[in-house]
Amino acid sequence: MKAVLVRKPYGEENAGIADVPDPVPQKDEIVVKVLFAGLNPIDINVVRNKTVYGLKPDPHIPGSEISGVAETSGKTIKKGDRVILYSRWFDGTCKYCKSGREELCSSGGIFGVLSNGGYCEKISVPEKMLLRIPDEVNIEDAVSIPVGGLTALHALNRAGAASGQKLLVYGASGNTGLFATLLGKYRGMEVSAVSSKEWVKKYGASSVYSHDKIPEDLKADVIINSLGGDLFTESFNHAAPGAKIATFGVFTGANVQVNLAKIYTQEIEIIGTTGGTVAEMKSLLQTMQTNSIRLPTDRVFGIDHLKEAIQAYSGRTEGRILLRVQ
């Protein structure tokens, strides 16, 4: 089958289409024909070998977010079902899995990072990692759930986001930021977005500010900040007493300085959050089905144009960059 393969010394210049063996399904695995794949910061970092998790195997097939069609049947997934992948390996037996926190599995890891990913024609994964896409949900929208959507939902849940609260989303036009904005609005929150893109108002933001134009008196109960760096430090200026700041990314830097006095005197909570649970992914599918949620797609590239897709990622005008596999 055809796959995107990235080799040392990594980078877009060392990623290209290669012929690799078809996957051989193991016990309880389902073979999936991949139709669409998402392009996220984690995927770009894999191509550049700049993840915080390490990378294997080498050479490597990137791609953590996929949707496709089952080519074999299992107990609940049947041949021909449209499916999305829960993008975390998990054993189901460790203390974290048993408590419903599969994203923290002791022997797990991110699909496409600690294993080959989905920028290829077929994958074979345990049936427990697959969810059927409801008929009412578009497969191009569903592909954004496993990383972009689930990460945002889990962060909101961890922060106890609730109706009537004020939500401030940094990087609101990004994959996770767009979902955080949408889901915050559906929860009845007053959403302010930090972005240079005014179009995020169409997806739930009541106001949009560039990071250096946020009103000093804007104080939020929940802050979603996937950017890190100085922008993470800045977000404390807009934290109301008792606010919760959820972080799951270091796009502008991993090392930050914070004022501890402000944290304890205002009882501000910093919440680390990664991925999400299988139950949350099921609930997000239901939310998208019930509310007929459609997501903007800026451009769709073939997997043989990964370099161009990565170049377009930072310059996209409205919506996601997707890869069409076949």
Instruction: Measure Cα distances from 218 to 213, 221, 222, 235, 278 in Å.
Output: 11, 10, 12, 11, 35
Identify the band that residue 40 occupies on the pLDDT scale cut at 50, 70 and 90.
very high
Identify the band that residue 211 occupies on the pLDDT scale cut at 50, 70 and 90.
confident
- Predicted local confidence at residue 247, as pLDDT: 95
Rounded Cα distance between 141 and 202, Å, is 17
**Dihedral over Cα of 192, 315, 4, 57: its sign:** negative
Question: Is residue 57 predicted with pLDDT exceeding 80?
Answer: yes
- Predicted local confidence at residue 254, as pLDDT: 79
- Predicted local confidence at residue 277, as pLDDT: 98
Calculate the average pLDDT of the chain.
94
Query: Region 24-47: what's the mean pLDDT?
Result: 96
Question: Is residue 253 predicted with pLDDT exceeding 80?
Answer: no
Question: Is residue 230 predicted with pLDDT exceeding 90?
Answer: no
Instruction: Measure Cα distances from 62 to 3, 47, 52, 112, 245 in Å.
Output: 9, 7, 15, 5, 30
Q: Are 323 and 37 in contact (CB under 8 A)?
A: yes
Q: Which domains does the chain have, with CATH numbers?
A: 2-147+276-324 (3.90.180.10), 160-272 (3.40.50.720)
Q: What are the helix (H) ranges across 59-200?
A: 95-98, 139-142, 150-158, 175-186
Of 250, 299, 242, nearest to 267 by C-alpha is: 242
More confident residue, 314 or 189: 189
Query: What is this structure's pTM?
Result: 0.94
Phi, psi of 262 (to 5 degrees): -65, -40
- Predicted local confidence at residue 259, as pLDDT: 86
Q: What is the pLDDT of residues 100-159, one digit of tens each?
A: 999 999 999 999 999 999 999 999 999 999 999 999 999 999 999 999 999 999 999 999
Q: What is the pLDDT of residues 279-304, one digit of tens each?
A: 999 999 999 999 888 889 999 999 99
- Predicted local confidence at residue 54, as pLDDT: 79
Percent of the chain beyond pLDDT 90?
86
Rounded Cα distance between 151 and 202, Å, is 21
Of 181, 180, 122, nearest to 152 by C-alpha is: 180
- Predicted local confidence at residue 55, as pLDDT: 87
CA angle 21, 22, 26 (to 5 degrees): 115
Instruction: Return the structure tokens found at 226.
Output: 């996937």
Q: Are 62 and 55 in contact (CB under 8 A)?
A: no
Query: Region 57-67: what's the mean pLDDT?
Result: 96
| Strand ranges across the sheet with 239-247 | 207-209, 190-194, 166-170, 220-225, 239-247, 269-272
